Amino acid sequence: MKVTEAFQKAAPALSFEFSPPKTPEQEQHLFAVIGRLKAFRPDFVSVTYGAMGTTRVKTFAAVRQIKADFGIEPVAHLTCVAATRDDIARQLDELKQIGIENILALRGDPPEGQKDFVPPRDGFKFAKELIAFIKAKQPGFCLGAAGFPEAPRIEHLKQKIDAGAEYIITQLFFDNRHYFDYVAACRAAGITVPIIPGLMPITSYHQIKKMTQVCGATIPPELLASLEAKQDDVEAIIELGKEQTVCQARQLLAADVPGLHFFVMNQAEPISTILKELQFAG
């Protein structure tokens, strides 16, 4: 199934993002989490691609098993990092051979400690180049791209769409005004593809502080003050994160978004509680 088919339904699409396991124990945990979350009938799930492409084998193995064992449509992340054109061509062949139809094509982040992204020799510097390459080599793949509500760069996004991206999944955000303004700017620029908001339930003060610093997202002052006041109370942080995500999701659903994409950090309990409160079947 192509991911774009999920956005043609009357109900909003539901999707999750997972990280590939690094150890046998993490693998067992990940598939236990997927087994629990399958009850909510996600339309698709994506699996990330580690720094410098270090988890490519694990990512590809995970998407294959998700499709074969759980019957859920997987999306494989693919990045420009540490990969030549020949590398990517081989990876596309491998994904096709294992029955994967959907790719989220990303530039990827530079290695930790490196400020600027430096493409490998005979590689790609921008996601738009990767997208165009995939479309030329393997036009059967359904391609998604990343969007950044708090750093819009609409002209760059349009180039990704023109290159062949068919939908956008946004970076996490905690103030829905960023998303609504972003969508309005995209539509004004002639971008018509589905734009799916990405939501991350907060489960750790220190984790979300680090993550927002890395990706450039902001935490609204009132929410940040509440998190700081309860930063050492794990249960209180989880409850606060649940309330924040439920509030955001309800407002987004009321605005008829095409779907909700949750960055679940390979955890079942927080997102299960949130989806039950939102009355998703589970």
Active site residue: 17, 129, 150, 166, which one?
Answer: 17
Q: How far apart are CA 179 and CA 150, in angstroms?
A: 8
Using a 10 angstrom Cβ sphere, with 0-12 exposed, 13-18 middle and 19 or more buried, the burial of residue 144 is buried
What is the residue type of 111? Answer: P
Whole-angstrom Cα distance, residue 6 to residue 195?
13
Distance CA 209, CA 88 (A): 33
N-to-C CA span, the chain: 22
Distance CA 91, CA 85 (A): 10
210 token code pair: 């680090």
Nearest to 27 by CA among 3, 1, 57, 71: 57
Check if 17 is active-site: yes
Tokens of 40: 């909510």
Enumerate the active-site residues. 17
